[in-house]
Amino acid sequence: MMNIIISHAKPSDIKPMAGLLAELFSIETDFPIDEEKQIQALSQLVPDAMCDVIVAKIDDILVGMATMQPIISTAEGGYVGIIEDVVVTEAHRGKRIGTQLIAYLEASAAKKGFKAVKLLADKNNAPALQFYKATGFAQTQMMMLRRRLVR
């Protein structure tokens, strides 16, 4: 039986997490794989007390991760958590690690008094969308649009 440990990421997890993001971004074509940018962002997220950056490890090997950042929603009337970067290494998918990551973030959001959690997902990643639906997320009529500010 695997001993899966879910915990907050440490600075020493940042480089392996960038590797997981490379795996994720190879599927989500909106975002380029750029290890330097991913490390820069993770280096800001990991120590930020308002954010949850979590990892899943088996025998001290990083096999999954997810992030959650707060925003104030006028529609919800308070804080909501925006979940991103949910990824489990291909070799460890189907072992309920993603489910544990989501449950951990939802518990953290509830403890912080958040009104809801929302999730960003690639509309072309059918396996991920099926997983999110199975974990209780429902598609809404809202969609994310992006405009780059820095070139």
**Quick one: average pLDDT of 64-91?**
97
Please tell me what DSSP assigns to residue 90: G
Q: What is the mean pLDDT of residues 34-38?
A: 94
d(CA 104, CA 9): 13
Phi-psi region of 42 (alpha: psi -120 to 50; beta: other; left: phi over 0): alpha
Residue 124: both structure tokens together: 């072309």
Q: What is the pTM of this model?
A: 0.92
Contact by Cβ (8 Å): 58, 13: no
Average pLDDT over residues 50-77: 97
| Exposure string for 52-75, b = 16+ CB within 10 A, e = fewer | bbbbbbbeeebbbbbbbebeeeee
Tokens 């190879």, located at residue? 26
Rounded Cα–Cα distance for residues 130 and 72 (Å): 28
What percent of the chain stands above pLDDT 70?
99
**Cα angle vertex 147, ends 17, 73, to 5°?**
75
User: Residue 1 above 70 pLDDT?
Assistant: no
Which residues have a Cβ under 8 Å from the Cβ of 101 and sit 6 or more positions away? 6, 54, 56, 64, 65, 66, 86, 88
Superfamily of domain 4-134: Gcn5-related N-acetyltransferase (GNAT) (3.40.630.30)
